[in-house]
Amino acid sequence: MPLDLLCLDADDTLWHNMRHFDAAERAFVAMMAPFAAEGVARERLEAMESANLRLYGYGAKSFTLSMIETATQLCGDALTARDVAAMLAAGRDLLSHPVELLDGVGETLAALAERVRLVLVTKGDLLHQEAKLAASGLGELFHGVEIVSDKTPDTFVRLFERYGVAPERAGMAGDSIRSDIAPVLAAGGWAAFLPPELSWSHERAAVPSDHPRFTQLDRFAALPGWLDRIA
């Protein structure tokens, strides 16, 4: 039975994202070197990011605030205005870097759009995600765009209802087991995992074993073949 709807993640599924956050994190760790060992600085920053998700959500702005808050804890009164300015500059870089598509995304997405309705489902800051989609040149290929605060089974149940499709006729492809795979499987849909080059610790989870609606692919260009196998 062919799928009627295919949802796709954006960051690190369609275009590079984590490499930019990784660069910002490395700059932060270097800045904190006089006050904390590398492992400690990374651990404290990751803990702060996770704690702040319920307040600030996902994205570059949340990451920037978490860097500053972590620095205040690690540096105390030794934190300078120049240090804060450097972290704000790193955050601005995250908001303005060029959008670089992953290999095979442009031509594969065009081919997919000819055979199934595509919906972009992504987390993060609304304005930033909209800007990245516009810069990507891929917007016209999508039937819909959903920028959500988080991805849960209920998120996908409501999404499938909104687009008038039964769960067994819907799928999701993305780079995060926690956000793109597990909730879709729980909602009754199909899921294709595209392992990322880099991943955020918050998004890591165990890969499903022997789930009949789960597949792991080695590249984005393998998605049409996955649709063929489901059909």
Output the pLDDT for position 224. Answer: 98
Of 221, 201, 202, 185, the residue nearest 57 (C-alpha) = 202
**What residues pair up with 192 in beta bridges, in sequence order?**
173, 215
Helix segments in 76-230, DSSP class H: 81-96, 105-113, 126-136, 153-162, 182-186, 223-230
Statement: the pTM of the whole predicted model exceeds 0.85 = yes
CA distance 65 to 48: 9
Q: Are 165 and 187 in contact (CB under 8 A)?
A: no
Backbone angles phi and psi of 117, in degrees to 5 = -70, 130
User: Residue 173, class by beta-carbon neighbours within 10 Å (0-12 exposed, 13-18 middle, 19+ buried)?
Assistant: buried
Output the pLDDT for position 76. Answer: 94
User: Residue 98, class by beta-carbon neighbours within 10 Å (0-12 exposed, 13-18 middle, 19+ buried)?
Assistant: exposed
| Strands of the sheet with 117-123, listed across from one edge | 144-148, 117-123, 5-8, 170-174, 190-193, 214-216
Domain borders along the chain are: 5-16+100-230, 18-96
Per-residue pLDDT of the chain (231 residues; tens, 9 = 90+): 799 999 999 999 999 999 999 999 999 999 999 999 999 999 999 999 999 988 898 889 999 999 999 999 999 999 999 999 999 999 999 999 899 999 999 999 999 999 999 999 999 888 899 999 999 999 999 999 999 989 999 999 999 999 999 999 999 999 999 999 999 999 999 999 999 886 777 777 788 888 999 999 999 999 999 999 998
Backbone angles phi and psi of 120, in degrees to 5 = -80, 125
CA distance 142 to 5: 11
CA distance 145 to 108: 18
Output the pLDDT for position 1. Answer: 75
Output the pLDDT for position 124. Answer: 84
Output the pLDDT for position 198. Answer: 67
Q: How far is CA 185 from CA 11, 225, 229, in A?
A: 20, 19, 17
Decide if domain 5-16+100-230 falls under CATH 3.40.50.300.
no
CATH topology of domain 18-96: DNA polymerase; domain 1 (1.10.150)
